[in-house]
Amino acid sequence: MKLHVEIAARDGAARTGVVQTARGGFTTPVFMPVGTRGTVRAITTADLEGVGAEIVLGNTYHLMLRPGADVIEALGGLHRFEDWHGHVLTDSGGYQVFSLQPKVTDDGATFRSTYDGSAHHLTPEAAVAIQEQLGADIQMVLDVCAPLPSDRATLGAAVDRTALWAGRARRAHRRVEDQALFGIVQGGDDVELRRESALRTVALDFDGYAVGGLSVGESREKMLPALQAAVAELPEDQPRYFMGLGDPVGIVEAVALGVDMFDCVLPTRLARHGTILTASGRLNIKRAEWARSEDPLDPTCACEVCSRYSRGYLRHLSVLGEPTAATLCTVHNVAWLLGFVERIREHIRCGTLEGFRSEVASIWA
């Protein structure tokens, strides 16, 4: 089903609104925590509900191998599997598969499982079918993600094959009544290729659009023009999803270009290593200076962790590697980033995003 952003307010190219799906609606701009293997690592579905997450990612590569898409289908799909009543988006598995140096032909990609070494062949049609089994509200086409830097011929070939596969995915998609299928724009850091890829993807008339293959290590100066070139060709009224971006500066800059959706493992991975997101920037909770601190992680944060626990307590648990530290720091970082995006929405509504961009840049640059 085609998704639309019901835009409530604009500030320059930035917009805030609601995307309606078969399940209900989610507000945009939105940050989507990543639940790679059926859970956001170190927290529970109840924790996700507690921080007010609206949409969560699942990872097709991992879930097709463990426990298997057929198992999840037999258990009622990802929502019932996780007892999660919000939205779910699944990636196509392409990003992980291409990181394994697969054998790629026009037909698809052959790779070996990181779990048991078994060989698997993923095609655009199979990726759609697997994601239909997983039962996400939004699924992604299988794309070809070239590393950066790559030469123009490599980036162009990735755009061509991505377009070829996108057409096949579009035609293979059957579960159209309750599942949206997003196309993915590739083209690396080449603005011309980004424009071409966007036009070719839009020509296939997808339910929503993603920009992939960026935020893979390139500088922000290379990333943002490529993103802008892609976004310029995407339909104004459909959701735009920037894959794999989760740092505060990146999010606010991409929102300013008109992006609606974000996902990243950054806040959860940082949390497990004791790096905390706060209004003043990153904080290393393991530092000795916090041993006797009664302050919360972030005095401006409304999350349960900040309302209950001192830095001294969280420093103690983190230094010892208590699993509870990973849980509490993850809850905070996810809550904090959701709160950050809520502030972005508020600034768009108030027409004050420009000032917030400067503030974010000065803190996080």
**Nearer to a copy of itself (CB atom), residue 139 or residue 327:** 327
Dist. CA 321–CA 290, nearest whole Å: 16
**Nearer to a copy of itself (CB atom), residue 85 or residue 171:** 85
**Nearer to a copy of itself (CB atom), residue 266 or residue 360:** 266
Could you tell me which stretch among 20-28, 77-85, 89-97, 121-129 binds a copy of itself (CB under 8 A)? Answer: 77-85
Binding-site member from 6, 83, 107, 236 for a copy of itself (CB under 8 A): 83
Size of the site for a copy of itself (CB under 8 A): 39
User: What residue spans of the chain are helical by DSSP H?
Assistant: 45-51, 60-65, 69-74, 77-82, 94-99, 124-134, 152-172, 191-202, 220-231, 248-256, 266-272, 304-308, 311-320, 323-350, 353-364
Q: Are 337 and 278 in contact (CB under 8 A)?
A: no
Tell me the three-class secondary structure of 308-341, residue by residue.
HCCHHHHHHHHHHCCHHHHHHHHHHHHHHHHHHH
Secondary structure (3-state) at 186: coil
260 given a catalytic annotation: no
Binding-site member from 2, 6, 25, 71 for a copy of itself (CB under 8 A): 71
- Residue 292 tokens, joined: 């006797």
Could you tell me which stretch among 12-20, 76-84, 218-226, 341-349 binds a copy of itself (CB under 8 A)? Answer: 76-84
91 given a catalytic annotation: yes
Binding-site member from 205, 308, 354, 355 for a copy of itself (CB under 8 A): 308
Catalytic residue selected from 190, 207, 263, 298:
263
Binding-site member from 44, 110, 113, 154 for a copy of itself (CB under 8 A): 44
User: In whole angstroms, how far apart are CA 79 and each of 56, 84, 86, 264, 345?
Assistant: 10, 5, 8, 20, 27
- Spatial CB neighbours of 28, under 8 Å, sequence gap ≥ 6: 5, 15, 16, 17, 18, 19, 239, 260, 261, 345
| 85 is an interface residue for a copy of itself by CB under 8 A | no
**Nearer to a copy of itself (CB atom), residue 203 or residue 302:** 302
| 324 is an interface residue for a copy of itself by CB under 8 A | yes
Active site residues: 91, 263
Contacts to a copy of itself by CB under 8 A? 37-46, 66-67, 71, 74-76, 81-83, 291-292, 294, 304, 308-310, 312-313, 315-317, 319-320, 322-324, 326-328
